[in-house]
Amino acid sequence: MNTNQTKATAKLIKEIFDELMSLGTSQKKISTAPDSSAESYFTPPVHGDSTYFYSCSFQNQNELEQVFKQIFNNGYEHIPAAITTKLAKLAFLLKENNTEQDTELSPFIYTLY
Amino acid sequence: MKDDVYILGIAAYYHDAAAAIIKNGEIIAAAQEERFSRVKHDPRFPKNAINYCLEEAFIEPSEISAVVFYDNPVLTYDRIIHNSLLMGESSFETFSNATNSILGIKLWVEDHVLKTIGTLGKYGKIIFAGHHISHAASAFYPSSFNEAAVLTIDGVGEWSTTTISHGFENKISVLKEINYPHSLGLLYSAFTYYCGFKVNSGEYKLMGLAPYGEPVYAKQIYDNLIDIKADGSFRLNLDYFGFLNSHKTTNENFNRLFDGKEREPESRITRKEMNMAASIQAVTEDVVKKLAKHALDITGSSNLCLAGGVALNCVANGKILQDKITSNIWIQPASGDAGGALGACYVGHHLVLNEKRTVQPGLFDAQKGSYLGPKFSNNEIQAFLERKNYPYTRFDTTAEYFNELAKELADGKIIGFFNGRMEYGPRSLGARSIIGDARNKSMQSKMNLKIKYRESFRPFAPAVLEEDKSAFFDLDVQSPYMLLVAPVKESIRNERTLQQAAGSDDMIEIINEERSSLPAITHVDYSARVQTVTEETNSRFYNLLKAFKALTDVSVLVNTSFNVRGEPIVCSPKDAYTCFMRTDIDILVLEDFVLYKEKQPAFEDNKNWRNEYQPD
């Protein structure tokens, strides 16, 4: 693992977090306590077509940023463009760092012997 | 002529990774990655399961029409952002960990697919199905209902924790939802954690512990932790939970409410944990029943489909039947995240590609008994046994085979039964099962302590011939997947003679009490988690039950999963033989081959094998 890249991603994560904190609390999306006056806690689906499926392919940061903007800003407070730009950059950096699984596939995939 | 439509569905990265493949809407194969990797609840990208699915379908990757993932990581990250906006600076560690995980790994599923199979299918890009619509699809499409109310309940997907949908022909419409952090799954997991069990695998144990206790804490739960409306919708009081900004589900307020901190794992279970289990189980059943009723009311349907991790709470499922909310119910056997892979297939097939749906008349369902994994031929097994010089017996006729096995079972022997295609989902259904005589009063203790190496309070489940179910259980519907709990028939119960001292937490004397003529499968409240077996779905297991009935007049056997504690259910003959030799299983059956323990050579084993498997 490239230590410089790890430090870079950690720094960027902190930067993004601090920028989010400067937005103040987002009241709309998350409630934390019961409401005795409410008749029901059900809501209609709030994420539109994403409730069902979303199809995309992002080959570069710009395309990923567009995906973030579309999904993050669906009906709620906007996440500023500066943050989504950094998030897209961060995602591509993290992709290079992280290996999820690198074991070789066994030719006998259910290892009979 | 139209090309065949193959959809590959993938679940990964959270827990219980899996892959599934359907052809023209028909299930061809599905399997959890853990069965191949031998890592329980393996969350990693399911390379092995994917390759198995392609082999079973007998296709090249280029023939895949679309690849569908069961979750939308960008929408999940939206939740992480808003969680941090709510919780402020205290959530930095959670935010950082989630960012690394989601933006570093989960987002790049397309790359992992390309690395594994070299293609994204003819569709050309990954389809991210919604998590709960994947659950809903896994419940509705394999059912035999042309139309149904579909209820999904879990910990959390992207945002949703509970959804009510209406399924009609080839479409599912999501009508209502409850969103994070208000989650019945997370509530149940909080109690799982507090009672000293592992989250995401210990919930089942909490359900099994509940009948030992009394719901004395239910009022505290209702008064402080959860507000439930008449329609079953609910909201948690997050003052008592830690998961918004820590890795713990509970917090100090929770501990104060219940007079103390959480139980240490593996320590003695006391009356408090039994009562906690009973209390949260009662509350959960209340919510599930209300949700089920509301789902049926608003859809105008009399059919109910269930999925999501909470649908594995088979006691709650059984209450839907017992309270006559509906008798038309179908529950996805792989109701947890693994089932999302199959659901993702259906989302691709019906919702994205708009393919029609065909419900076969007269079929119980399209799940094929949930026998959707690999099988091994007699030739392959024989080659394995002879290469390893493991002695075996093969009988001249099937009658001899079944009669011999039935006799051994009646003599109290425990059999590792390896037969046909492996099950998809957490339950063993007679394909990868350990079986024993349910009439035997020491069977529960022996199986728990000497074979499963697990907690002795845990009950075992019965398999029964479908046509005989009503003779032993108060059950009128088919239950092929062990997802319904029903009372043992009164006519075979024994009266309770044990008067347990008030406040006693000695479970052993309760466990050893013979509660019915089938003591090994009768839980302390006279309930049983029933599997009904038909000849159509599992003829070998069916015929064994018939042979046992011919000998004993009882067509019920103990059926528990073929594994030791912490190990995934066995997949291959090698896995089965290893488990056989590491435990007190008396006989191993590998299709037509019968192996007797006393005839086996000394087994060269890894001396530290018990450390291989983390207790779950």
Q: Do B104 and A46 touch (CB under 8 A)?
A: no
Residue-wise pLDDT tens digits, B324-339:
999 999 999 999 999 9
- Chain A neighbors of B376, CB-CB under 8 A: 112
In the stretch 302-341 of chain B, residues with CB closer than 8 A to chain A read: none
**Looking at the whole model, is its pTM more than 0.90?**
yes
Q: CA angle, corner B216, sides to B473 and A33, nearest 5?
A: 110
Among the partner-chain residues A41, A51, A110, the one whose CB lies closest to the CB of B178 is A41
Is B14 near chain A, with CB under 8 Å? Answer: no
Residues of chain A with pLDDT > 90: what percent? 42
Per-residue pLDDT averaged across A86-102, rounded? 82
Per-residue pLDDT averaged across B276-287, rounded? 98
Tokens (6 digits) for B565: 């504690």
pLDDT at B497: 60
Which residues have CB under 8 Å from B174's CB, separation 6+?
Answer: A45, A51, A52, B132, B133, B136, B163, B164, B165
Per-residue pLDDT averaged across A9-28, rounded? 85
Higher pLDDT, B57 or A51: B57
- Chain A neighbors of B244, CB-CB under 8 A: 32
* Backbone torsions φ then ψ of B541, nearest 5 degrees: -65, -40
Question: What is the number of other CB atoms lying within 10 angstroms of the CB of residue B223?
Answer: 11
CA distance to partner chain A, nearest, from residue B325 (Å): 20
A109, A111, A113: best mutation site toward chain B, by most B Cβ within 10 Å? A109
Give yes or no for a contact between A105 and B47, defined as CB atoms under 8 angstroms apart: yes
Residue-wise pLDDT tens digits, B534-546:
999 999 999 999 9
Give yes or no for a contact between B319 and B289, defined as CB atoms under 8 angstroms apart: yes
pLDDT at B15: 87
pLDDT at B321: 94
pLDDT at A48: 84
pLDDT category of residue B615 using cuts at 50, 70 and 90: low
Q: Do B351 and A53 touch (CB under 8 A)?
A: yes
Give yes or no for a contact between B365 and B180, defined as CB atoms under 8 angstroms apart: no
Residue-wise pLDDT tens digits, B496-505:
765 555 566 7
Cα distance between residue A65 and residue B69, in whole Å: 20
Residue-wise pLDDT tens digits, B158-167:
999 999 999 9
CA quadruple B153, B155, B157, B161: dihedral, nearest 10? 50
Is B104 near chain A, with CB under 8 Å? Answer: yes
Per-residue pLDDT averaged across B27-34, rounded? 98
Q: Give B245-261 as a 3 state SS string.
A: CCCCCECHHHHHHCCCC
Per-residue pLDDT averaged across B505-510, rounded? 71
Give yes or no for a contact between B443 and B572, defined as CB atoms under 8 angstroms apart: no
Among the partner-chain residues A25, A94, A97, the one whose CB lies closest to the CB of B86 is A25
Nearest to B253 by CA among B268, B238, B263, B232: B238
Pick the residue from chain A with its C-alpha nearest to B82. Answer: A26
Cα distance between residue B475 and residue B487, in whole Å: 8
pLDDT category of residue A87 using cuts at 50, 70 and 90: very high
Tokens (6 digits) for B367: 């799940």
- Chain A neighbors of B175, CB-CB under 8 A: 44-45
- Chain A neighbors of B34, CB-CB under 8 A: none
Nearest to B578 by CA among A113, A98, A45, A19: A113
Pick the residue from chain A with its C-alpha nearest to B91. Answer: A17
Q: Do B36 and A33 touch (CB under 8 A)?
A: no
Give yes or no for a contact between B238 and B225, defined as CB atoms under 8 angstroms apart: no
ω into B181 cis (within 30 of 0): yes
pLDDT at A73: 67
Nearest to B417 by CA among B259, B272, B278, B533: B533
- Helix ranges (H only) for B141-248 are 184-194, 203-209, 218-220
Question: How does DSSP assign A40-79, residue by residue?
Answer: ---B--SSGGGGTEEE----SHHHHHHHHHHHHTSSSPPP
Residue-wise pLDDT tens digits, B394-445:
999 999 999 999 999 999 999 999 999 999 999 999 999 999 999 998 898 8
In the stretch 70-99 of chain A, residues with CB closer than 8 A to chain B read: 71-72, 76, 79, 87, 90-91, 94-95, 97-98
Residue-wise pLDDT tens digits, B187-224:
999 999 999 998 888 999 999 999 999 999 999 999 99
Buried b (16+ CB within 10 A) or exposed e, B69-85: bbbbbbbbbbbbbbbbb
pLDDT at A109: 38
Least confident of A19-33, B63-77, B282-296: A19-33
CA distance to partner chain B, nearest, from residue A77 (Å): 10
Give yes or no for a contact between B613 and B401, defined as CB atoms under 8 angstroms apart: no
Q: Do B159 and A47 touch (CB under 8 A)?
A: yes
Is B115 near chain A, with CB under 8 Å? Answer: no
- Chain B neighbors of A53, CB-CB under 8 A: 68, 72, 127-130, 133, 347-348, 351-352
Residue-wise pLDDT tens digits, A49-63:
888 999 988 889 999
- Helix ranges (H only) for B202-357 are 203-209, 218-220, 252-257, 271-299, 314-322, 338-346
Neighbouring C-alpha atoms within 13 Å toward the C-beta of B3:
10
pLDDT surpasses 50 at B115:
yes
pLDDT surpasses 80 at A32:
yes
pLDDT surpasses 80 at A97:
no
pLDDT at B21: 98
Give yes or no for a contact between B582 and B609, defined as CB atoms under 8 angstroms apart: yes
Least confident of A102-111, B248-257, B375-384, B553-562: A102-111
Per-residue pLDDT averaged across A65-87, rounded? 81
- pLDDT, averaged across chain B: 94
Q: Do A47 and B239 touch (CB under 8 A)?
A: no
Would the ipTM clear 0.90, i.e. be above it?
A: yes
pLDDT category of residue A102 using cuts at 50, 70 and 90: very low
In the stretch 51-70 of chain A, residues with CB closer than 8 A to chain B read: 51-57, 67-68
List B556's β-bridge partners, or say none: B464
Q: Do A53 and B352 touch (CB under 8 A)?
A: yes
pLDDT at A100: 57
CA quadruple B33, B20, B318, B190: dihedral, nearest 10? 40
